[in-house]
Chain A
Amino acid sequence: MDLILQPVMVDTGEEGEGCLVFAEGWLVAVLVRLSDSHEDESGYWFLEKGFGRLDRPDPPSFSDLPTAEQWIKEHLEIRRPPRWPGDPGEA
């Protein structure tokens, strides 16, 4: 699966550097670069918003964009579990 990253400014009250992440034409995530105020994680890429399978209560931060892309790909490829009895889920 190929991801396309499109630079964008995101209004989070920080410096704003961010990118939209598309997979097969679908917007799947918004990543934002963390400013110096985040100490240990300054310069990291934070999963500001994940859609669908990437929507999480504990969004992670990544040291660089390749690491973020790797994580996004892995989580998009996880097989969807059945949602109701009889639903086959996703192959």
Chain B
Amino acid sequence: MVGRLVENLELYGRLSELDRRAIAALPLTLRRFEPGEDMVIEGDAPSHCRLLISGLAFRHKTLRDGRRQIMSFHVPGDICDIEGLLLSMDHSVSALSRAEVGFIPHLAMEALLDGHPAISRALWRTELVEAAVAREWMVGMGRRTAYARIAHLFCEMYARLGAMGLVENGRCRFPITQTHLSDSLGLSVVHTNRVLQALRGDGLLSFRGGELIVHDWPGLQAAGEFDPAYLHLRSVAA
């Protein structure tokens, strides 16, 4: 199960056999979360890293009147609360779908990183990529049209899920609701629904029952002005 972490880190750089074995030896306690359930909440000072083994998760912040902003989505192999290793949580992380999460004690993680500089660098790289993703979202929210914003998010998730081997024949599980989409892209649910109809109508994708089907990958990338360079993946799903 902790192999998911190896797969994820290796998307961004090679690890030695010794590094891989050290990761495989990490102590890990498995927990399941239901859709919408909080994995860690704002203000927490976690004592474990939460490694997503299966399912999807998202980071979010909620304003006093209940308006929510989703900041990112997480795919298997991601540590969803890595900042908790060094800081307290300034936002919450919840399960998007039913999710299996491996809890790794911080002490074990610290020992791993102290003893294996290549793992440390790989983890640092994943965090830099996460910051790159956040910048791309900011560009989208500030400057892209609603149509391009939604197309771009679907491209991003399709590429990231593909890199983890979770895309098959142009299909992947992405059980996001229109409310999640609007909360992540700063759109109303009404606008989100209209754009989804338009993307479908233009023959780029289908999105139903939590499944994303990409019918026209070049067309979807063009619609989203999507250039996967910011993901820094060694290989990108096509």
Contact = CB atoms under 8 A, between A and B. Distances in A.
B197 interface: yes
B186 A37 contact: no
Nearest to A61: B190
A37 B188 contact: no
Interface residues of B, number: 8
A58 B67 contact: yes
B67 A37 contact: no
A34 B190 contact: yes
Nearest to B182: A58
Interface string A66-88: 00000000000000000000000
- Which size class do A's interface residues fall under? 10 to 19
Q: Is the interface of B mostly helix, strand, loop or mixed?
A: helix
A37 B191 CA distance: 12
B67 A46 contact: no
B194 A13 contact: yes
A13 B67 contact: no
Given A57-B67, A58-B67, A46 B198 contact: no
A7 interface: no
A46 B194 contact: no
Contacts of A38: 190, 193
A13 B146 CA distance: 13
Contacts of A14: 194
B198 A13 contact: yes
Cβ-closest 9 pairs across A and B: A46-B190, A59-B188, A13-B194, A37-B197, A58-B67, A38-B193, A37-B193, A13-B198, A34-B190
Given A13-B198, A57-B186, 10 more contacts: A13-B194, A37-B193, A38-B190, A41-B190, A46-B190, A57-B67, A58-B67, A58-B188, A59-B188, A61-B190
19 contacts: A12-B194, A13-B194, A13-B197, A13-B198, A14-B194, A34-B190, A37-B193, A37-B194, A37-B197, A38-B190, A41-B190, A46-B190, A57-B67, A57-B186, A58-B67, A58-B188, A59-B188, A59-B190, A61-B190
